[in-house]
């Protein structure tokens, strides 16, 4: 003999709310309108509904817990249904009212199914025949996720990419400027087809951005590490610097150290379409020549005789 609590997936100490929540979940999963022609699912639905019809009623639940009635609602020890009581199984769908209009001893099933199905499908007695005449409930198709790889600059400035859907259809997808890693672009109605005349799902185009060789993004700002020579660092210079819009001239101040950062105002990514742009930050990195010749060594040695300086005072 099956335990009603196990059928609903709750403990014997479960509250009335927990029992109702568990039944709602099962009813949503198992309702025959969602599984036309599946007798096993229909039987499980009837079984869950019968269990709920007893456990949702405080008096009947107490009698079941005391062993006075069995899982069908019949009186124990009298054979048959006892005192003319119909089986809860019948009230839950095997009898004359079907799945649409049964009433759980004061708990109206219409209230439950209106919550689960949004009032659709005619689950009241009055709307039962109308719901059946429409056949299975329309169901929206599933969304489909596609991934597209784009270059760093295309992510900043926008582009178009062609993708092929699982049905073989090819589309040109507009990638907006300022798109971010992992952002999804929704194509309405381009997902899986719906069931029973339901609407199609959507196609979700997930953007993956290839890293750039030297640009890095920080919010709406662009970061760039710029190598400079020893001469440029000591004496200063004007150098050509790449930006997302092309190269520009940048002044390196005399006496610039590694990690000194210069700003190119308005040379970053757009904050919003048509709105102001971020900045580009250029971090300097002093690079010594690969080969230090004797002339450079002697020049440094001569300079250091009278101008040596301590760079590690903070470490003492």
CATH no., domain 4-133: 1.10.287.110
CB neighbour list of residue 13: distance below 8 Å, 6 or more residues apart: none
Task: Give tens-digit pLDDT for 260-278.
Answer: 999 999 999 987 666 789 9
Tokens standing for 146?
A: 């596609």
Element (H, E) at 105: none
Q: Virtual CA dihedral for 231, 308, 260, 248, nearest 10 degrees?
A: -10
Secondary structure letter of residue 73 according to DSSP = S
User: What is the structure's pLDDT at 246?
Assistant: 96
What is the location of CATH 2.60.260.20 in the chain? 144-209, 215-307
User: What is the structure's pLDDT at 98?
Assistant: 42
Residue 135 or residue 196, greater confidence: 196
Q: How confident is the model at residue 83 (pLDDT cuts 50, 70, 90)?
A: very low
* 148 pLDDT above the threshold of 90: yes
User: What is the structure's pLDDT at 162?
Assistant: 94
What is the location of CATH 1.10.287.110 in the chain? 4-133
Quickly list DSSP for 232-278. Answer: HHHH-EEEEEEETTEEEEEEE-TTPPTT-EEEETT-S-BSSTTS-B-
Q: Virtual CA dihedral for 172, 176, 181, 183, nearest 10 degrees?
A: -80
Secondary structure letter of residue 313 according to DSSP = G
Name the CATH code of domain 215-307 (choices 1.10.3720.10, 2.60.260.20, 3.30.1490.100, 2.40.30.30).
Answer: 2.60.260.20
290-304: average pLDDT: 92
Task: Give tens-digit pLDDT for 20-53.
Answer: 999 988 888 888 777 777 888 888 888 888 889 8
Angle between helices 16-30 and 39-55 (to 10 degrees): 160
* 164 pLDDT above the threshold of 70: yes
Q: Pairing state of beta strands 246-252 and 237-243?
A: antiparallel
The CATH class for the domain spanning 144-209 reads: mainly beta
Q: Virtual CA dihedral for 51, 57, 60, 62, nearest 10 degrees?
A: 100
- Count of alpha carbons within 13 angstroms of residue 2, beta-carbon side: 15
User: What is the structure's pLDDT at 91?
Assistant: 43
């Amino acid at each position: 003999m099956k335990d009603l609590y196990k059928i609903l997936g709750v403990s014997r100490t479960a509250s009335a709310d927990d029992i109702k929540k568990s039944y709602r979940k099962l009813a949503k999963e198992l309702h025959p309108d969602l599984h036309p022609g599946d007798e096993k699912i229909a039987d499980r639905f009837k079984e869950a509904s019968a269990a709920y019809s007893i456990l949702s009623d405080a008096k009947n639940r107490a009698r079941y817990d005391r062993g006075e009635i069995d899982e069908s609602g019949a009186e124990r020890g009298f054979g048959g249904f006892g005192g003319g009581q119909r089986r809860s199984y019948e009230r839950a769908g095997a009898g004359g009212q079907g799945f649409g209009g049964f009433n759980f001893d004061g708990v109206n099933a219409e209230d439950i199914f209106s919550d689960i199905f949004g009032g659709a499908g005619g689950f009241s007695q009055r709307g039962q025949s109308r719901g059946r005449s429409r056949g299975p409930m329309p169901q929206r198709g599933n969304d489909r996720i596609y991934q597209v790889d784009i270059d760093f600059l295309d992510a900043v400035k926008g582009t178009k990419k062609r993708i092929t859907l699982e049905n073989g259809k090819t589309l040109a997808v507009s990638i907006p400027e300022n798109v971010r890693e992992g952002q999804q672009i929704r194509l309405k109605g381009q997902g899986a087809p719906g069931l029973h005349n339901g609407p199609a799902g959507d196609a979700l185009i997930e953007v993956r951005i290839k890293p750039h060789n030297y640009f890095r993004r920080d919010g709406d700002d662009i970061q760039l590490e710029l190598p400079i020579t020893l001469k440029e660092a000591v004496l200063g210079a004007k150098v050509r610097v790449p930006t997302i819009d092309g190269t520009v001239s940048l002044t390196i101040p005399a006496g610039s150290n590694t990690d000194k950062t210069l700003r190119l105002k308005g040379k970053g990514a757009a904050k919003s379409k048509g709105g102001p742009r971020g900045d580009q930050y250029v971090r300097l990195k002093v690079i010594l020549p690969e080969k230090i010749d004797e002339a450079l060594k002697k020049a440094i040695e001569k300079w250091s005789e009278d101008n040596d300086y301590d760079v590690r005072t903070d470490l003492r």
